[in-house]
Amino acid sequence: MTDRPALPEFVDSHCHLDFPDFEGQTAELITRANAAGVRRMVTICTRLRKEPAVRAMAEAHDGLFYAAGTHPMYAAEEPMVLVEQLVALARHPKFVGIGETGLDYHYTAESAAVQAESLRVHIEAARRTGLPLIIHSRDADADMARILTEERRVGAFSCVMHCYTSGPELAATALDLGFYLSMSGIAAFPRSTEIRDIFIAAPRDRILIETDAPYLAPPPYRGKRNEPAHVVHTARVGAEALGMTEAEFAALTTANFDRLFSKARI
């Protein structure tokens, strides 16, 4: 009898394990993720008032890290975040990123000015802490490219464009600034050829992978609740698109994650 080959090890760089879809199921989610080869996850807090609960979740589970910020869709509902708040949170050993923050004009274009103000606060916190900025951008390519370019001239910061589904122009700007692109389950949809082409053209040392769970499940779970274990299905499509084996793609995206999210390196 031969031993089964070891599974490739993946990192889910962006999920939301505190969302109501997962209430009371954190341990089971992590167990299933580990069984699929997903050893580390970053769970993202989207409203700072919920940060204590997300922090406690990360503290309770090995391999689970967290980030926090104000999601752009909530920027007009929540108190304006302060740089000092984010800097203080960043002192926690399992706090590994700033955000998610960004611009969303698909649902909340009316709060564009507040979103931009919040985004710039998060960028300054990323500069001061050295932690990566986690960007959400939807239907706001031109403004996002402009703000990132302006702020990068002010001073250096690192950044990942999470769940990248925007156009090639914003991708080119982000990559030229030294930032990363993260592949979600959307990239695994059969009709997402243009998104896959952006990742194929990107420098390989600038690609991450994520679920954005509970959203955006890849085939064969499309339309169902997503979870960290499902990142492997997106990875298979990503590996094929880049002409790599699954193990090579796992090693690549994990090395990229460790470089960007160096505080989560184990």
| pLDDT tens digits, one per residue of 188-225 | 999 999 999 999 999 999 999 999 999 999 999 999 99
pTM summary value: 0.96
Residue 213, number of CB atoms within 10 A of its CB: 28
Q: What is the DSSP letter of 73?
A: G
Mean pLDDT over all residues of the chain?
Answer: 96
CA–CA separation, 231 vs 189, rounded Å?
13
Length of the chain: 266
233 marked as part of a ligand binding site: no
Give mean pLDDT, residues 7-28: 96
Task: Give bridge partners of residue 46 from the DSSP assignment.
Answer: none
14 marked as part of a ligand binding site: yes
162 marked as part of a ligand binding site: yes
pLDDT category at 4 given cuts 50, 70, 90 is: low
Residue 49, number of CB atoms within 10 A of its CB: 10
pLDDT category at 57 given cuts 50, 70, 90 is: very high
- Residues whose CB is less than 8 angstroms from the CB of residue 186 and which lie 6 or more positions away in sequence, other chains included: 163, 165, 192, 195, 216
Write the class of the CATH domain 10-179+255-264.
alpha beta
Cα–Cα separations (whole angstroms), residue 151 to 116, 146, 154, 182: 12, 9, 5, 21
Give mean pLDDT, residues 126-154: 98
Find the distance separating the first CA and the last CA of the chain, reported in whole Å. 32
> Listing from the earlier edge strand, what are the strands of the sheet with 159-161?
10-15, 38-45, 64-68, 95-104, 133-138, 159-161, 180-183, 207-209
Kindly tell me if the per-residue pLDDT of 7 is higher than 90: no
Write the pLDDT tens digit of every residue in 78-122: 999 999 999 999 999 999 999 999 999 999 999 999 999 999 999
61 marked as part of a ligand binding site: no
CA–CA separation, 102 vs 44, rounded Å?
14
122 marked as part of a ligand binding site: no
Place of tokens 């050993």: 93
Residue 251, number of CB atoms within 10 A of its CB: 15
Kindly tell me if the per-residue pLDDT of 1 is higher than 50: no
Alpha helix segments (H runs only) across the chain:
26-35, 51-60, 83-89, 105-108, 112-129, 141-154, 168-176, 193-201, 231-241, 246-260
pLDDT at position 126 is 98
pLDDT at position 231 is 98
pLDDT at position 172 is 98
Kindly tell me if the per-residue pLDDT of 2 is higher than 50: no
Write the pLDDT tens digit of every residue in 235-256: 999 999 999 999 999 999 999 9
Nearest to 11 by CA among 214, 217, 261: 261
